[in-house]
Structures are given as C-alpha cells and as structure tokens.
C-alpha cells in the first residue's frame, strides 16, 4: 500500500481491488465509503468469473466498499444509479459524453471505462 487517506486507499500494484475490499472489510480495517484504487491489478475479478488484469498505461482499477445495515433489496440497482451519476458528473465537469451499457458498464468511444466488480 502506498498511501491511505480517510476514504481512499491507493496501491501501485495489487492482486485485486475487490479482494482487498473483502479482506479489509472482513478484518474490520476499512470504513464504509472507502475507495480502493490501483494502477496495476494482477488478478482482478471480471464479470462472469473472467480475469481482469490492468497495466500502468491503459487502465485503473477501483473498488468501493460500503457497509450497510439495511436489507439488500433496499439498495437494489445501486450500481446502475452510481454509473448514471458518474456519467452525469463527468458530462458537467469535463464535457465528456459517456454511455452506459446496462446494468452499469460505462463506455467512452466504444471502450469500457468502468464496471461493477461485485
């Protein structure tokens, strides 16, 4: 781990940001709302069990950790709503037009930028 702030944990290289979120969450060593970011991810977990490997030039890996006491049905579709908010913010802030492939993959010029890693 290179650095840690209240809500961001950054790694140059990690096996998987998702696995790190699970490890830290299980150990009680992470706050709800924390983002885990890595430049290089060597064993990331993609959709349908695919491996998602990133490198220092073309990708960034991000996982968000949320702890909730509510029933899971109450937060149904939250990743879709988060993707919609990201697209909206980036359009306003930097004028970029992004698309969402349901349920939550963010695309720019036909290339995937983000996805749900749960």
Q: Which domain holds residue 91?
A: 76-118
Structure tokens at 21: 């979120």
- Determine what percent of the chain is predicted with pLDDT higher than 90: 38
For the chain, the domain total comes to 2
User: In terms of domains, do 61 and 9 share one?
Assistant: yes
User: In terms of domains, do 89 and 118 share one?
Assistant: yes
User: In terms of domains, do 5 and 62 share one?
Assistant: yes
User: In terms of domains, do 62 and 80 share one?
Assistant: no
pTM for the model? 0.60
User: In terms of domains, do 108 and 58 share one?
Assistant: no
User: In terms of domains, do 58 and 3 share one?
Assistant: yes
- Per-residue pLDDT at 115: 45
Going by pLDDT thresholds of 50, 70 and 90, the confidence category of residue 35 is very high
Q: How far apart are CA 68 and CA 115, in angstroms?
A: 21
Count of Cβ atoms closer than 10 Å to residue 42 Cβ:
14
Task: Output b/e per residue, 55-78; b: 16+ Cβ within 10 A.
Answer: eeeebebbbbbeeeeeeeeeeeee
């Amino acid at each position: 781990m290179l650095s840690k702030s209240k809500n961001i944990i950054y790694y140059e290289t990690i096996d998987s940001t998702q696995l790190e979120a699970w490890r830290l969450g299980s150990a009680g060593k992470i706050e709800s709302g924390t983002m885990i970011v890595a430049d290089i991810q060597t064993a990331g977990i993609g959709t349908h069990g695919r491996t998602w490997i990133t490198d220092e030039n073309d990708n960034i890996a991000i996982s968000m950790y949320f702890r909730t006491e509510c029933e899971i049905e109450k937060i149904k579709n939250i990743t879709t709503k988060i993707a919609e908010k990201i697209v909206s913010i980036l359009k306003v802030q930097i004028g970029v037009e992004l698309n969402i492939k349901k349920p939550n993959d963010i695309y720019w010029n036909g290339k995937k930028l983000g996805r749900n890693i749960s």
